[in-house]
Structure 1
Amino acid sequence: MPVGIEAWLTQIPPITRAWLALSVATSLAVQCQLVTPLQLYFSFKSAFTNVQPWRMATTFFYFGSISLDFVFHLFFFMRYSRMLEESSFANRKADYFWLLLLSSVMLLAMSPLFNLPFLSSSLAFVPIYMWSRRHPSTPISLFGLFTISAPYLPLALVIFSWVISGTWKAAAGDLIGCAVGHIGWFLRDVWPREMVGGYSVLTEAPDVLRRLFGDL
C-alpha cells in the first residue's frame, strides 16, 4: 500500500503536490494537538504587530479539522489544481507558483474586509475557477448525480459547500476565491487577447523565479 501511495504522489505535478502535502500535514498536526488553529490563522495584528509572519503562510494550508468539509475541499482543489498545472502550466512551474502567490497576496489584503482568518479554501477556488474558464465546453459530472458544463463548476461547488457546512460564511470564502480567480483569468486570458494589453509581471513570473524553479 505505501508503494502505491508513493507512486500516486509522484504522478502529481510539483506545486500541487507540495500544496497537498503541507495541507494534510497541517491538519494532522492540529488533529494530533501539536499546534492549535489559534496559532495558524491570519490577522494583520497577529502577523505584523505581534511579529508572527508565519501566519501569512499557514492560513493557506489549514482546511479545518478532518471532516467531510475537509475532504470536500481537499479533493476538489487537488483534482483541478493538478489538471490546471498539467495542462495550462505544463513545464511552467514558476508561472503557476506566481499565480498562486499573487492570488495569496490579494486574499491576504481582502481578509480583514470579510473577516476570514483562514484562506485555504479561498485559494483552492482560484485554480478551480481558472480551469473551468479555460475548458468551457467540458462536461462535468458532479457526484454522478447531474452533469454541468465547466463554467458552472465553481458556483455548484460553492452551493455544495454551503449545504455541507450549514452556514453562508463557509461559502463566502469560496466566493472570494472565485473573484480572485476571475481576476487571474482576466489578466492572463482576456486582457492580452482583447485589450492588447500584453503580458506583464502580473501574468508571468519574474526571471529570478523562473531560474529558481528551473524553467530557464
Structure 2
Amino acid sequence: MAQALQQEYMEMPIITKAYTTACVLTTAAVQLEIISPFQLYFNPDLIIKHYQIWRLFTTFLFFGTFGFNFLFNLIFTYRYCRSLEEGSFRGRPADFFYMFLFGGTLMIVIAIFVNQAFLGQAFTIMLVYIWCRRNPYVRMNFFGLLNFQAPYLPWVLLAFSLLLGNSVIVDLMGIAVGHVYFFLEDICPNQPGGMRLLKTPWIIKYIFESPIAENQPPPPEDRPGGFNWG
C-alpha cells in the first residue's frame, strides 16, 4: 500500500504535486500545533499594515484539520488538478500556473468584499468547474446516488455543501472565478473577432517551459471544450 502511494505521488505532475503537498504539510503543521490557523487566514489589514504577505498564499492551503472536510477537498483537488495538468494543459505548465495565479488573485479581490478567511475550498471548486466545462460529455456519478454530465458537478457539490450546513459563498466564489477564466480563455478567443485575453507572460513561460514542451499540443480530446464527437 505504502509503495503504491509512493509511486502514485512520484508520478504526479509538478504543479499538482507542489500544491497538494503544500496543503498536506500545512494541515499537518496545524494538527501538530506547530502553527495556528490564525497565522494562515486571509486578513487584508495584517497583510498591508504588518506585511504578513504569506497570508496571500496560506489561505489557499488550509482546508481545516484532518477530517472529512479535509479529505473530501484534498481528493477533489488532487483528482481535478492532476486531470487538468495532464489533460488540456498537457505540455503547457506555464499556462497552468498562470491559471493558478489568475484564479487566486481574483479570489483574493472577491474575498475582500465577502469577508472569507480561507479560500482553499473555493480554489478546488474552480479547478472542478474548469475541468467540467472542458469535458462536457463525461458522465459522472456522485456517491452512487446521482448520474449526470460533468458540467453539473460544481452545482451538485454546492447542493452537497448546503445539505451539510456549510456556507455556499465559498462554492459560489469558486464557480464564479472558474467561469470567468473559462469565458476569457475558451469562449472569447473562439468568437468572431475574439482574442485571447489571458496570454501567459513571457517570464512565466521562461521559468516553466522548455522550447520542446512549449510546442507540444495536447491531443484533440483534451483540448478546451472536450472532444468533438460530431
Is TM more than 0.5 here? yes
Rounded to whole Å, the distance in 2 between the matches of 1:199 and 1:16 is: 25
Q: Percent identity?
A: 36
AA matched with 2:134: R
Structure 1 unaligned spans of 5+:
none
Map of 1:7 onto structure 2: 7
1:175 aligns with 2:146: no
Residue number in structure 1 paired with 2:36: 36
1:62-89: CA deviation from partner (whole Å, max 9, x where unpaired): 1111111111111112111111111110
1:194 matches 2:184: no
Question: Residue 23 of structure 2 aligns with which residue?
Answer: 23
Q: CA RMSD in A?
A: 1.3
Aligned partner of 1:83: which letter?
Answer: S
Scaled by the length of structure 1, the TM-score of the pair is: 0.93
User: Residues of 2 paired with 1:17 and 1:53: CA distance?
Assistant: 23
Deviation of the 1:213 alpha carbon? 0.9
Counterpart residue type for residue 158 of structure 1: L
Which residue, out of 186, 205, 208, partners 2:200? 205
CA deviation digits over 1:114-157, x for unaligned, max 9? 11011111111111101111111110011122211111000001
> Higher mean Cα deviation, 61-70 or 33-42?
61-70
Q: Partner letter of residue 149 of structure 1?
A: Q
Rounded to whole Å, the distance in 2 between the matches of 1:195 and 1:119 is 35
Q: Distance in 2 between matches of 1:158 and 1:130?
A: 15
Q: Give the partner amino acid of 2:207.
A: L
Q: Distance in 2 between matches of 1:143 and 1:102?
A: 32
- CA shift digits 1:12-50 (9 cap, x unpaired): 211111110000100110000000000000111011111
Relative to 1, partners in 2 of residues 1:38 and 1:90: Cα closer, same or farther, differing over 3 Å? same
Give the structure-2-normalised TM-score: 0.88
Output aligned runs, 1:121-200, within 5 Å. 121-164=121-164, 166-167=165-166, 169=167, 171-200=168-197
Query: How many Å apart are 1:195 and its aligned residue?
Result: 4.6
Aligned length: 211
